[in-house]
Amino acid sequence: MDIYLHFADQAREAIAFYEEVFETEPAQVMTFGQMPQDEQHPLNDKFKDLVLNASLKLNDTNVMISDSPEGLAPPIVVGNNVALVFNALTVEEATKIFRRLTEEGAILLPLEKTFWAKLYGMVKDQYGVMWHINLY
């Protein structure tokens, strides 16, 4: 299963942030300007550099990311309807990822031992995305 995140013209910024937090390979990014153009419905120049689709690998999970420009996609409603789960491989990785996500975000549940995991915590990052960090 893949995960899809939509942003209100902040996709590039979010991609760069997540690449740094998770120390991943650079995302594969396609812009609206790179998609085949419809001559009968020309694309407004202000949309050409926005992200049509990006693919970011976090361990074995593929996170898809795009901008949702007004007039081309449904409006973005930031809320608690999407949460991502990151399954860390080590204590160090769980701690580092949790700390990085909370730097400009908010801790919802502190990273600590639970009955189901060696470590578990929940954070809302600076973009309003909720993350569950697990270490089994």
Q: What is the pLDDT of residues 26-82, one digit of tens each?
A: 999 999 999 888 888 888 899 999 999 999 999 989 999 999 898 888 788 776 557
pLDDT of residue 79: 65
Percent of the chain past pLDDT 90, that is, above it, reads 70
Tell me if 1-77 shares its fold with 78-136: yes
Average pLDDT over residues 92-99: 98
Token digits of residue 133:
């960090």
C-alpha distance from residue 87 to each of 52, 70, 97, 107 (Å): 27, 34, 10, 17
pLDDT of residue 80: 59
Token digits of residue 30:
């396609």
Average pLDDT over residues 76-91: 82
1-77: CATH topology: 2,3-Dihydroxybiphenyl 1,2-Dioxygenase; domain 1 (3.10.180)
> What residues contact residue 39 under an 8 Å CB cut-off, 6+ apart?
none
